[in-house]
A and B are shown apart, each in its own frame.
Chain A
Amino acid sequence: DTGVSQNPRHKITKRGQNVTFRCDPISEHNRLYWYRQTLGQGPEFLTYFQNEAQLEKSRLLSDRFSAERPKGSFSTLEIQRTEQGDSAMYLCASSTAKNRGEKLFFGSGTQLSVL
């Protein structure tokens, strides 16, 4: 069990650029979640996959955001035309079907700074 891995750890980009983050969940976990956390706030839910199916999306996930999990293993989160308000820590988490969504294992996150 190597834990949830997220890359890159840090990303600095200019406003208007596109960015993509990758998450590798714990290998036997079929559920994968993306959350966003800003300074001084708790994580906010963005989206959830069970295997390769995206089953739930938050209203926070605007049209500029897209997430994929093509083979039910790793996932990517892409933000198009980044805005300064997108600056945040993007957290990925995974869990098993048995533990459902209550017992999440989080990665260390990707810190995005939009200049």
Chain B
Amino acid sequence: QKEVEQDPGPLSVPEGAIVSLNCTYSNSAFQYFMWYRQYSRKGPELLMYTYSSGNKEDGRFTAQVDKSSKYISLFIRDSQPSDSATYLCAMKKQGGSEKLVFGKGTKLTVNP
């Protein structure tokens, strides 16, 4: 079992839809949870960052962390064609290693 599991999709939605992306993980030592967005032929770009459990909102994006279920989510409201990209979840333990552990990424297409 991989430490971080993410459905690779692809996911196709119409413009304006609410998008839900999620990851599960197996290692309870993860304390930092991130969502990165990656456009084709580009490096990942940090979208959301959450420490421990709870919700965080930034504009059209909401990140949720449920540590009891080892489940994290990213919601995109009023999705736009410019949101079409691969979304990667990433996690890090507190202390010790500086390594981020990434999911495989979910490829999202928002159709106009």
Q: Chain A: which residue is nearest B90 at the CB level?
A: A42
Sort chain A's interface into a size bin. 20 to 34
A33 touches B98 (CB 8 A): yes
Is A43 a contact of B104 with CB atoms below 8 Å?
no
Contacts of B18 in A (CB 8 A): none
Cα separation A4 to B43 with both chains bound (whole Å): 10
Look across to chain A and name the residue whose beta carbon is closest to the beta carbon of B96: A56
- Counting contact residues on chain B (CB < 8 A from A), the size range is 20 to 34
- Candidates B32, B45, B102; contact of A43 at CB < 8 Å: B102
Q: Write the A30-55 contact mask toward B (1 if CB under 8 angstroms, else 0).
A: 01010100001111110010000001
Asked if A58 is at the interface of the complex by the 8 Å CB criterion, the answer is: yes
Beta-carbon contact of A101 and B49 below 8 Å? no
**B44 close to chain A: CB less than 8 A:** yes
B99 touches A45 (CB 8 A): yes
Summed over the interface, the residue pairs from A and B with CB atoms below 8 Å come to a total of: 63
User: B104 near A42 (CB under 8 angstroms)?
Assistant: yes
Cross-interface CB contact of A42 among B32, B46, B105, cutoff 8 Å: B105
Report chain A residues within 8 Å CB of B92: 101-102
Given contacts A102-B34, A108-B41, contact A45 B46 (CB under 8 A): no
Known contacts: A41-B104, A42-B88, A42-B90. The answer to whether A100 contacts B41 by CB under 8 A is: no
CA–CA, A101 to B100, complex, Å? 8
**Which one of A31, A44, A55, A93 lies within 8 Å of B43 (CB-CB)?**
A93
Contact of A56 with B98 in the complex, beta carbons under 8 Å: yes
Q: Which residues of A contact B34 (CB under 8 A)?
A: 102-103
Residues of chain B within 8 A of A48, CB atoms compared? 98-99
* Residues of chain A having any CB pair with chain B under 8 Å: 4, 31, 33, 35, 40-45, 48, 55-56, 58, 91, 93, 100-109
Question: Lowest 9 CB-CB distances: which A-B pairs, in order?
Answer: A42-B102, A106-B43, A101-B98, A45-B99, A102-B32, A48-B98, A106-B44, A108-B43, A43-B102
